[in-house]
Structure 1
Amino acid sequence: MSDRAENLILALPGLLLLAVAFFVPIAQMLLLSVQGEEGLTFANFTRFLGDPYYLGVLWRTVRLSLLITAICALIGFPLAYIMARVGPRMRLWLIVLVILPLMTSVVVRTFGWMVLLGRSGLVPDILRSLGLAGRNFSIMQTESAIVIGMVQVLLPFMTLSILGVVSRIDTRLEEAARTMGCGFGATLRTVVLPLALPGIVAGSLLCFTLSASSFVTPNLLGGSRIQVLAASIYRSVTQTLDWPFAAAQAVILFVGVLLILVPYARLGGGTR
């Protein structure tokens, strides 16, 4: 038996699981999205793309996902750099602190943010005591609350993705740049950042896709008046029972994520 045949046999269980768990549901969703009373129809897509409300929901989803991804990258890169350059013991503790939130349910963490950001929560109380907010100020049910909660949820994915790349960068490259007259900031910008770009791209892929498809945190922190696409799909399934329209929204979300992921993936491949 050839090596290719052996590799195919070893990969066959995983390929079958991928087909059953991913491709079959995607195919069913595609078929459901074009089903109508008179057969195949694109009326569900026309309804979505012709309604300013749903276009606004789509734009909010993409805009918030890009913002959350950018904030995670801005925080995750320096954090990953520090973790890669400190001693082994300190690095271990920092990794534990980064991973620790992942061991807690997203629902529990989101309820924690609801307590902190609510009208009588700690954050509004601090802002009121500093004179920066009024008596009825609350961050809950705003886009800011969604961004804060989602950044806390997704930051470990970004940090660990960048850490895996930065930890492999030879420190002698930084020493050479400092010897040639570069300051610390210039060394990070001209040496570390370009070499860490594959990790940033990988972390951005994870953060954007998870943020765009997230339901629990945006729904609890944003409320019913700050709708994202995942919440709109859920409402179509559970309240209006319009499954074909929900499937059409899911297809639009899926295609929209793919359109953004392809350039990211090419960028990551070009940096290797």
Structure 2
Amino acid sequence: MSTTMSAAMNRALPLLAAPVAFFAAFFAVPMIVVVSSSLMAGGVPSLGNYARVLFDQYHWDVLAATFRIAGLTTVACALLGYPLAYYLVRVVKSRALRRTCVILLVLPLFTSNIVRSFGWMVLLGRNGLVNDALVGVGILDRPMRFLGTELGIVIGLVYILLPFIVLAVGNALAAVDPALEDASSDLGATPFDTFRTVTFPLCLPGLMSGIVMVFTLAVSAYVTPALLSGGKITVFPMLIFQQYSTVFDVNYGGALSMTLLVMTLVLVGLAGWIGNAGASATGRKAQ
């Protein structure tokens, strides 16, 4: 038995070498460099960079704006993405039409965020298509200012990140056996009760994975907030970029980066705990 296990390990080690080396080179080593640089000040070990971040109200205000924008983007993507994914998986019967819709959904991902953000700058301008349409149908009396506001940033981020949550929820919905929904209907459940007690709980993990992806990408977004804010709103990635590219203070930039990372991981972990608790409660109610 030991000889067999040893031979299996000898065959597995070469296969593991490449992914382990890739992980070390492109994740572990850069992370160690950022952490170590954040703990240095003036060439000596120090927590001064973190004290500078955590004890300055300005950083907390920027952090709050960053998470507020990311939270609104995530909520909007979930509210728009779930019905769209449900429509593509459950309503659209033609496989060709479904594939066409998916291609149209992911096609913008092949375009640079810079190009798409510039496009939204044109659309959201005072004389842009969005304002012209809102004024034309009577929703607004005069053009509304979108650029330089959190609303404009959220609109741009929702457009960019919506495909991620649609694909995640769509894959989860496609994995739900329709026989379970048919059985629920045969037992007298209404379509809404079937969705609430069968469909939604089963695809909740896919929804949560999409929410996590959208939130983390929105928190770390730089290009879209930088362009659509017009310099009037600052988010944490903009501060980090400024320290690395303009001020060249890698120690302070590392502290900012690690602060954002830790805060994001805490919020993602909290969201995962709430999601698991909600799924368990839903399952108990269904029983």
Distance 1:3 1:164 in 2: 34
Partner of residue 164 from structure 1, selected from 163, 171, 178: 171
Distance 2:40 2:256 in 1: 13
Distance 1:110 1:191 in 2: 39
Distance 1:15 1:262 in 2: 25
2:155 is aligned with 1:184: no
The letter for the 2-side match of 1:118 is: G
- Pairing 1:197-208 to 2, within 5 Å after superposition: 197-208=204-215
2:159 is aligned with 1:152: yes
Distance 2:9 2:211 in 1: 34
Shift of 1:269: 7.8
Range moving further from structure 2, 213-222 or 61-70 = 61-70
TM-score by length of 1: 0.92
Distance 1:23 1:89 in 2: 43
Name 1:106's counterpart in structure 2: 113
Shift of 1:265: 5.1
Range moving further from structure 2, 102-111 or 85-94 = 85-94
Taking a change above 3 Å as real, the CA distance of residues 76 and 4 of structure 1, as seen in their structure-2 partners, is: farther
Distance 2:150 2:256 in 1: 21
Instruction: Report sequence identity in percent.
Output: 36
Range moving further from structure 2, 140-149 or 65-74 = 65-74
2:38 is aligned with 1:45: no
2:82 is aligned with 1:77: yes
Taking a change above 3 Å as real, the CA distance of residues 45 and 7 of structure 1, as seen in their structure-2 partners, is: same
> Do the aligned residues in 1 keep the contact of 2:132 with 2:143 (CA within 8 Å)?
no
2:64 is aligned with 1:64: no
Distance 1:184 1:223 in 2: 47
RMSD of Structure 2 on Structure 1 (CA): 2.1
Name 1:256's counterpart in structure 2: 263
Name 1:25's counterpart in structure 2: 30
Shift of 1:240: 2.8
2:36 is aligned with 1:55: no
CA-to-aligned-CA distance 1:124-183 (integer Å, 9 cap, x gap): 122233454454632011100111111111111111111111101111222222333333
Distance 1:47 1:170 in 2: 53
Aligned residues: 272
TM-score by length of 2: 0.87
The letter for the 1-side match of 2:120 is: W
Taking a change above 3 Å as real, the CA distance of residues 62 and 98 of structure 1, as seen in their structure-2 partners, is: same
> Do the aligned residues in 2 keep the contact of 1:80 with 1:163 (CA within 8 Å)?
yes
CA radius of gyration, larger in = 2
Shift of 1:81: 1.4
Taking a change above 3 Å as real, the CA distance of residues 5 and 206 of structure 1, as seen in their structure-2 partners, is: farther
Shift of 1:78: 1.4
Partner of residue 120 from structure 1, selected from 115, 127, 138: 127
The letter for the 1-side match of 2:209 is: A
Distance 1:159 1:248 in 2: 34
Distance 2:142 2:275 in 1: 48
2:232 is aligned with 1:222: no
- Pairing 1:228-247 to 2, within 5 Å after superposition: 228-247=235-254
Distance 2:227 2:111 in 1: 17
Shift of 1:64: 1.5
CA-to-aligned-CA distance 1:163-214 (integer Å, 9 cap, x gap): 1111011112222223333333332222111000110111112111111111
Distance 2:204 2:25 in 1: 34
